[in-house]
Homo-oligomer: A and B are copies of this chain.
Amino acid sequence: MSKRTYNMYCAIAKALDVVGERWTLLIVHEVLSGPKRFKDFLDHLPGIGTNLLSKRLKELEQADIIRHRKLPPPASSEVYEITEHGQGLEEVVLGLARWGTPLLGLPKPDELFCPVWALYAMKDRFVPENAKGISKTYEFHIDDDILQARVENQQIFPTQGAAWKPDVVITMDSATLLDIGTYQIEPMDAHQQGRVQVQGDVADYDEFFQLLVDAESGIERINLK
């Protein structure tokens, strides 16, 4: 009944004792992107099963990586969120995202995609040099998800949820987001074809994607052809 451990006096092994099991770091990624309900995890982690998810959430809570709290009625559902200690794993998750990007290729039919996962892609692809003098908040409506990206001081802060006073609101479905993200279509072309709606200045929409790595190096980065 004792928990499995590597039994090594090694910081890496100690970390993996806690977050190295299957699904664990993916669950951490989810809560790093914003508070989530049990159902959200199930939707975003295909095949995990309720029992295993339940077990993982308990382990993560015991390790002080997440906490859960009940929302007041009428919501009456539990919400899981990251702790300060868990926030320290951001560097690890971001490192995995960076290293994993070239393995993405094009999405396969049986692969699940959730819009929130684009948050780390934004961080990964953001080019500070292209953002000089820009201070804007971009809001995205992708399928039923709302995301935002605050750009400021040549940094980007993408998070889940609606922005307070967005400079522009950009609406598209996830298929279009994937086509743009994998450089199958230019952002402005997608807009002209009616696949993207923009509330606000269309120039802001165009500008946002200029902040990310361009198609040429981007295609190499996600390893297309």
Tell me whether B120 and A11 are in contact (CB under 8 A): yes
A100 CB contact (under 8 Å) in B13, B97, B108, B121: B13
A11 CB contact (under 8 Å) in B13, B100, B110: B100
Q: In this assembly, does A42 line the interface, its C-beta being within 8 Å of a C-beta of chain B?
A: no
Q: In this assembly, does A53 line the interface, its C-beta being within 8 Å of a C-beta of chain B?
A: no
> From A178, which residue of chain B is reached at the shortest CB distance?
B9
Give the distance in Å from the alpha carbon of A113 to the alpha carbon of B14 in the complex.
12
Copies of chain A in the complex: 2
Nearest CB on B from A19, distance (A): 8
> From A89, which residue of chain B is reached at the shortest CB distance?
B99
Task: Fill in one digit per residue for A8-35: 1 if any B CB lies within 8 Å of its CB, else 0.
Answer: 1111111111101010011001000000
With a CB–CB cut-off of 8 A, which chain B residues contact A9? 104, 107-108, 111-113, 117, 178
Q: In this assembly, does A101 line the interface, its C-beta being within 8 Å of a C-beta of chain B?
A: yes
Within 8 A of B (CB), among A72-120: 88-89, 91-101, 103-104, 107-108, 110-114, 117, 120
Q: Known: A111-B8, A112-B9. Is A97-B26 also a contact (CB below 8 A)?
A: no
Q: In this assembly, does A6 line the interface, its C-beta being within 8 Å of a C-beta of chain B?
A: yes
Q: In this assembly, does A204 line the interface, its C-beta being within 8 Å of a C-beta of chain B?
A: no
A16 CB contact (under 8 Å) in B10, B25, B112: B25
Tell me whether A93 and B12 are in contact (CB under 8 A): yes
Given A6-B46, A12-B120, A14-B101, 12 more pairs with CB closer than 8 A: A8-B46, A8-B113, A9-B104, A9-B107, A10-B117, A11-B99, A11-B120, A11-B124, A12-B25, A15-B99, A16-B96, A92-B92
Please, could you name 5 A-B residue pairs with CB atoms under 8 Å apart, sorted by A? A10-B117, A11-B117, A11-B124, A13-B100, A15-B100
